[in-house]
Structure 1
């Protein structure tokens, strides 16, 4: 049973990554259109794999990918799929949340590769360029059939409830629930993911940072995320150092 489940998770990761690769290819070439059908195919596999194998095995497989941007998108998509199920959301809402998570960083297709793939901290100038990815992503998807909520996730996943986020400095009620959910998964994913230049945090330490961001993040959702965060802990020895 374990082998069959692992095979299904590998298939889910591969299918989702193939959809991501096509999306980023379209974004980089500026030819073609990213359509809802394209993203729906990949995210269906994400939801099924996370449901059958659990978030921990999904993360272990995703972390074997070399492309950091793809790895992050898949990681956040898995977290979103699992978090949605833990909240008891309807199937349609789970699908929408997972799709939004896969798409959230699509604008990075328009970021120069030497900045996107830099193996270390960005300079202030490079950070300013990187911070334009939500605007690029929103522009890529506008008018291509995605609903307003999905477009809002792509543009606003770095916004904060206190108005300190970017690119629009939105506050409180201006930030949709779907955006708030993806933002939590995005930040948590960045804290626990593995990079050559950073030590991944344990689930406990990563959640403590999320908890410290209440006020910027939705407090009720952060607290609801706590039991799910524990499930996503892959217990890396270096993470506890």
Structure 2
């Protein structure tokens, strides 16, 4: 797959996910539309590698919540593959990465895009996005327990200092811990209105500082290595999720 086609898949996924977030701002979402993005994301990772996906993430002028969600989905899929987990976990984590911040669709843009530190009241409102996202997904018919758990618990920390439920230790399931590492790394390396994105080395150093008290040290150690792992599993081509939607996105890119 050419770099151009990876970029086209990325841009189509971004446009589709932007519409999903728009729907979530005032109501429910169509889970089938999100499922239609899973195969193209995995195809782009398989043929272009995670580093090519990250080039698309960081090259885009907008570093908003939709961009961040695509970033996390790619990192999570690559990390799952690196750990040798089943293909179903890869599919689940792509879906979870795309949807983990869906609750931010109901956070005011003035808070999301604020160029300085949030006030205590603004931070409290921002932190409602995890529970709100969980509610949006439930109301939209999502029943995958991992996707629901990632949406609600991706800010939980092993020492119980996270939110919204202050879970600790074994109460946080492994795939949620994995998604949390990807989420933090993505956030650190992205541009923000109040700071430039960090380098890979600096972001990994912060993850290491957060382990073992707040983050799983085994996952943190493995995550850095996953960034250099080729995503090359033939099974990814056989995933069947909304194939007409996925197939259309790929055919349009290949024909362009």
Could you state the TM-score of these two structures normalised by the residue count of structure 2?
Answer: 0.83
1:66 corresponding residue in structure 2: 62
2:155 corresponding residue in structure 1: 158
C-alpha separation between the residues in 1 aligned to 2:171 and 2:12?
A: 34
Residue 171 and residue 40 in structure 1: after superposition, are their counterparts in 2 closer, same or farther (change >3 A)? same
2:114 corresponding residue in structure 1: 118
1:236 corresponding residue in structure 2: none
2:234 corresponding residue in structure 1: none
Contact 2:142 2:148 in 1 (8 A): no
CA shift at 1:160, angstroms?
Answer: 0.5
2:224 corresponding residue in structure 1: 226
What is the aligned residue count?
Answer: 227
1:81 corresponding residue in structure 2: 77
C-alpha separation between the residues in 2 aligned to 1:204 and 1:42?
A: 30
More relative contact order, 1 or 2 (CA 8 Å, 6+ apart): 2
Cα deviation per residue 1:202-228 (whole Å; 9 max; x = unaligned)?
211111110111121111111111212
- Alignment map for 1:133-212 (pairs within 5 Å): 133-143=129-139, 144-212=141-209
115-124 vs 209-218, greater mean Cα deviation: 115-124
C-alpha separation between the residues in 1 aligned to 2:46 and 2:21?
A: 26
Task: Structure 2: give runs of 5+ residues left out of the alignment.
Answer: 231-256
1:127 corresponding residue in structure 2: 123
CA shift at 1:127, angstroms?
Answer: 1.0
Cα deviation per residue 1:59-94 (whole Å; 9 max; x = unaligned)?
121221425111111111111121111112221110
1:54 and 2:49 equivalent? yes
1:238 corresponding residue in structure 2: none
15-24 vs 93-102, greater mean Cα deviation: 15-24
2:247 corresponding residue in structure 1: none
Could you state the TM-score of these two structures normalised by the residue count of structure 1?
Answer: 0.88
Cα deviation per residue 1:167-198 (whole Å; 9 max; x = unaligned)?
11001111111111110000001111123531
SS in 2 for 1:152: helix
C-alpha separation between the residues in 1 aligned to 2:229 and 2:123?
A: 32
Task: Structure 1: give runs of 5+ residues left out of the alignment.
Answer: 233-241
Root-mean-square deviation (CA, aligned residues, Å) is 1.8
1:216 corresponding residue in structure 2: 214
